[in-house]
A and B are shown apart, each in its own frame.
Chain A
């Protein structure tokens, strides 16, 4: 069964460094998302992406964050200058169609630790 994959599974970085989290959505999916989960807290929406542009973003998704679909398969989240409070599990998700009631499929997550 097709699945969303994410790399790396765990990233450790120093405060102020740039990180890129990578996701490969399911191949025929059109809508892509990033969520994060700070330890012990809710899963929070960051950004959605459709037709090569941001569709919606939350307050969390400030100028330090960016997303890109550099080719036909990858979907990346970049944090330009990491802060301690960016430490979290980051989940990528994708869904096949725009509109309707179809499901978002999640990847296994990347645990980001900022020291």
Chain B
């Protein structure tokens, strides 16, 4: 079946450090891939997405590249800020109308 595996948290970084959160997936066909972010007390917000192999999604300094050969969609940011502290969810969707399949989420804490 379809599934998403992301690195266990929590991840604690100092401000301006480099961030990588690993995400790999198992899916039939060519899913779309997403990163959602959940700030404290809020709902899930789309951070970025990629819909085909080698696409790079980017937003707010975050990037992730759809790697079909390694079935990965790792999230990166060159310099994190305290305001990036949140839970990050990797997700896939098989096709337009199908539901999202989420990973377990990775909690990021950035300290000043």
* Structural contact, B99 and A43, CB atoms closer than 8 A: no
Is B58 part of the binding interface, using a Cβ–Cβ cutoff of 8 Å?
no
* A45 touching B44, Cβ below 8 Å: no
Flag if B44 contacts A101 (CB, 8 Å): no
A21 CB to nearest B CB, Å:
13
Q: From A43, which residue of chain B is reached at the shortest CB distance?
A: B102
Min C-beta distance of B88 to chain A, whole Å: 12
Task: Please judge, given known A-B contacts A43-B89, A107-B43, whether A55 and B97 are in contact too, CB under 8 Å.
Answer: yes
Query: Number of B residues whose C-beta is below 8 Å from A?
Result: 23
Highest count of chain A CB atoms <10 Å: which of B36, B43, B101: B43
Report the Cα distance A50→B101, complex, angstroms.
19
Q: Chain A's nearest CB lies how many Å from the CB of B23?
A: 13
Pair count A-B, CB < 8 A: 59
Do residues A45 and B97 form an inter-chain contact, with CB atoms below 8 A?
no
Given A91-B43, A106-B44, A108-B43, A56 and B102 contact (CB-CB distance below 8 Å): no
Residue of B with least CB distance to A109: B43
Task: Flag whether B96 is at the interface (Cβ < 8 A).
Answer: yes
Which residues of chain B are within 8 angstroms of A106 by Cβ–Cβ distance? 36, 43-45
The residue that A33 contacts in the complex, of B91, B96, B99, B103, with Cβ under 8 A, is: B99
Q: Which residues of A contact B99 (CB under 8 A)?
A: 33, 35, 45, 48, 56, 58
A residues whose Cβ falls under 8 Å from a Cβ of B: 4, 6, 31, 33, 35, 41-45, 48, 50, 55-56, 58, 91, 93, 97-109
Extra contacts, 9 of them, besides A44-B102, A56-B97 (Cβ < 8 A), are A31-B97, A35-B99, A42-B104, A48-B97, A48-B99, A58-B99, A101-B96, A106-B44, A107-B43
The 10 closest A-B pairs by CB, nearest first: A45-B99, A108-B43, A106-B44, A43-B102, A99-B96, A106-B43, A100-B96, A101-B51, A42-B104, A109-B43
